Amino acid sequence: MAKQKTDQKADLLQGTLDMLILKAVSLGPLHGYGIIQRIRQISGEMLEVEQGSLYPALYRIEQRGWVSSQWEKGETGRRVKLYTLTKVGRAQLEVEEASWDRLALAIAKVRQAT
């Protein structure tokens, strides 16, 4: 299906996946497969989340109460598991974004060092 991905295996860093998922779901309820597509889309085709990474992560995230899920009939008539961001999840997203900002800033400083 033409994955290609600019030949560079950009692989996510451990810990960033949760933030990406929360962000994707924050744009509106979504099912698992759709999350992968949305992340790919909003990252400009740069990030490709594997199913084997996503589903365990979703389970984990739901356990922590950051998202809630319910089975629904999708637009195509098929049953899909819709995930919705909870209030706690929205707060967590902000925490993770702040944490990322701090790290990115720190790394930037290190990069400048001579």
Partner DNA sequence: TTCCATACCTTGACATCCTAGGCAACCTCC
Partner DNA sequence: GGAGGTTGCCTAGGATGTCAAGGTATGGAA
Can you tell me which residue has the tokens 């989340």? 49
Nearer to a second copy, 63 or 114 (CB): 114
Q: Is residue 76 involved in binding DNA (CB under 7 A)?
A: yes
Q: Is residue 91 involved in binding a second copy (CB under 8 A)?
A: no
Q: Is residue 14 involved in binding a second copy (CB under 8 A)?
A: yes
Applying CB under 7 A, the span of 72-80, 84-92, 93-101, 105-113 interacting with DNA comes to: 72-80
Decide which of DNA, a second copy, none touches 110; Cβ closer than 5 to 8 Å per partner kind. a second copy
Q: Is residue 41 involved in binding DNA (CB under 7 A)?
A: no
- In angstroms, the CA 107 to CA 95 distance is 18
For 68, counting Cβ atoms within 10 Å of its Cβ (0-12 exposed, 13-18 middle, 19+ buried), the class is middle
Which amino acid does the sequence have at 10?
A: A
CB 43 within 8 A of CB 17: no
- Fill in the per-residue mask, 38 to 57: x = in contact with a second copy (CB under 8 A), - = not in contact: -x--xxx-xx----------
Angle, helix 16-26 to helix 32-42, in steps of 10 degrees = 100
Can you tell me which residue has the tokens 């309820």? 29
What residue ranges bind a second copy (CB under 8 A)?
Answer: 8, 10-16, 19-20, 23-24, 27, 39, 42-44, 46-47, 97, 99-100, 102-107, 109-111, 113-114
